[in-house]
Amino acid sequence: MKRRGQTRAERDQRRQQEDMNRTQCYHVSPKAMKRPKTAAERRQRVAAILEKLEVLFPAATCALHHKDAWQLLVATILSAQCTDQRVNKVTPGLFQKYPTIKDFAAVSQAELARDILSTGFYNNKAKSVIGAAKKILAGFGGKVPKTMEEMLTIPGAARKTANVVLGTAYGIASGVVVDTHVQRIAQRLDLSKQKDPAKIEQDLMKTVPPGKWILFSHRLIHFGRQVCQARKPRCVECTLNELCYAKDKTA
Q: What is the pLDDT of residues 65-90, one digit of tens each?
A: 999 999 999 999 999 999 999 999 99
What's the rounded Cα separation, in Å, for the pair 41 and 239?
A: 19
- 28: alpha, beta or left, given left = phi > 0 and alpha = psi -120 to 50? beta
Nearest-5° angle of CA 66, CA 91, CA 155? 80
The DSSP secondary-structure symbol of 153 reads T
pLDDT of the residue at 5: 53
pLDDT of the residue at 160: 96
Q: Which of 58, 63, 103 is nearest to 84 (CA)?
A: 63
Q: Please, which pLDDT band fits residue 250 given cuts at 50, 70 and 90?
A: confident
pLDDT over 70 (residue 4): no
pLDDT over 60 (residue 42): yes
Q: Which of 120, 148, 116, 150 is nearest to 136 (CA)?
A: 150
Q: Please, which pLDDT band fits residue 52 given cuts at 50, 70 and 90?
A: very high
Write the pLDDT tens digit of every residue in 121-138.
999 999 999 999 999 999
CATH assignment, 69-157: 1.10.340.30
Of 19-23, 160-164, 167-171, give the lowest mean pLDDT range: 19-23
Model pTM score: 0.84
For the chain, the average pLDDT equals: 90
Amino acid at 232: K
What's the rounded Cα separation, in Å, for the pair 67 and 63?
A: 12
pLDDT of the residue at 61: 94
Of 46-55, 186-195, 208-217, 242-251, give the lowest mean pLDDT range: 242-251
Mind telling me the catalytic residues? 160, 179
Q: How many angstroms separate the most distant Cα atoms in the chain? A: 81
